Amino acid sequence: MLIGESGSEAITAQDLADWAGTIPYEIFTNINMRVPRVYITEDIT
């Protein structure tokens, strides 16, 4: 996982941006469309 939570640890777009010396917008817009996305949502019924 590149961005998200696992247990008590989390990596945010802001974390990646800080490490790369850029802004979160550039992190999201520079992820190529060939990279598969997996969206995980919690069922809140």
Q: Helix, strand or coil for residue 4? A: strand
In this prediction, residue 32 carries a pLDDT of 79
Nearest-angstrom CA–CA distance, 21 and 16: 8
Give me Rg for the CA atoms of the chain. 12
Give the single-character DSSP code of 45.
-
Chain-centre distance for alpha carbon 36:
13
Length of the chain: 45
Confidence at residue 27, expressed as pLDDT on a 0 to 100 scale: 86
Question: Which tens digit of pLDDT belongs to each residue from 1-28?
Answer: 678 888 899 999 999 999 999 999 998 8
Q: Categorise residue 21: left if φ over 0, alpha if ψ from -120 to 50, beta otherwise.
A: left
